[in-house]
Structure 1
Amino acid sequence: MEIRPVQSDEVGLLYHLIQDLAKNQHLESFVETSPERLSKALFREPPDFGALLAMDKGRAVGYLTYTISYSIWAGRPFLHMDDLFVTAKERGKGIGKQLILHVRKMAMARNISSIKWEVDRDNQAAISFYQGLGAQVNIKGIGRWEFSGADHSQGTDK
């Protein structure tokens, strides 16, 4: 098993896994990205996000995506884990744990204060997984304010 950053020629593998996660959660219609958009965001300077692949014998079997943000209270950056996913066939083999421990080690080396993520409060398996790693899972409301393309072209203070 190898955990490593996504390479430019592997964005299609990442995209396939993102689609697999969306299907797993019955949310396929919400995936708006494309391999081209992912590649542009991942390989610009600085990148918009980071991505790790779990590779087993040349097959992509899981991924973890993240962004880096800044905690005003901690006075240091924090890592926001966007997705942690392992294919159904490979679950239970410790791959998810390897992915999150890899990103934890990376975050600590960069003096990042913490890792934060969202988890569905009904997903007890995921909550137990995170708690088993020693993480705290706080059930907190998450605000979201989304904008369509049309909203961006018009002023918001009219």
Structure 2
Amino acid sequence: MTQQTRVSIRPARRDDVPVILALIRALAEYERLADQCRADAPSLEATLFGERPAAEVLIAEVGGAAAGFALFFHNYSTFLARPGLYLEDLFVQPEHRGLGVGRRLMAALARIAVARGCGRFEWSVLDWNAPAIGFYRRLGAIGMDGWTVQRVSGEALQRLAQDA
């Protein structure tokens, strides 16, 4: 049996919170953003498995061990008048790269998007992450060069919320 055939993808469960947190922290390290990672187990449990889940997670396993994850949620396209699927994070542990784990996660997400009637499947990638960009291009993804991500967070978000 090859490593490729031993890759399995499954929806995360509440008892996976420690695994999800460890994978998020590993992703933050990889992206050189560990100092910005504030995730903790209680917050993940509440926001992923609480009364109103904000996102879903797929766990990839190789030989029964967590090899990676994909965290996603639905957005909406007014132009298509259909939901979309937005991939917030995809991460494969370095020792499991090259085994098809990322491809299997992306294919599972695409199946979810199709099954749920989504008009598109989108994500962002750091501009310095050439290996990830190359991977996405090989999957058929097209860069949205005419668009830039905008964000309001922290104190700026608080100030905006106070605007009349």
Confirm or deny a common fold (TM above 0.5). yes
1:150: how far off? 9.0
1:26 equivalent in alignment to 2:23: no
Instruction: Give me the TM-score of the superposition, normalised by structure 2.
Output: 0.89
Q: Deviations over 1:83-142 (max 9, x none)?
A: 010001111111000001001001100001111111122222111111111111223311
* 1:141 to 2:148 alignment: yes
CA distance in structure 1 between the partners assigned to 2:34 and 2:156 by the alignment: 20
Unaligned runs of 5+ in 1: none
Percent of aligned pairs with the same amino acid: 31
Asked if 1:58 corresponds to 2:64, the answer is yes
Q: Alignment partner of 1:62: what SS?
A: strand
Separation in structure 1 between the aligned mates of residue 18 and residue 69 of structure 2, nearest angstrom: 12
- Paired residues in the alignment total 156
For structure 2, the 5+ residue unaligned runs are 1-6
- Bigger Cα displacement from structure 2, 138-147 vs 107-116: 138-147
> Which of residues 45, 49, 61 in structure 2 aligns to 1:43?
49
CA-based RMSD: 1.7
TM-score, normalisation: structure 1 = 0.92
Flag as ranges the 4+ runs of structure 1 deviating above 4 A. none
- 1:68 and 2:74 correspond: yes
Counterpart of 2:153, as a letter, is E
Which residues of 2 match residues 76-91 of structure 1 at below 5 A?
76-91=82-97
Q: Which amino acid aligns with 1:134?
A: G
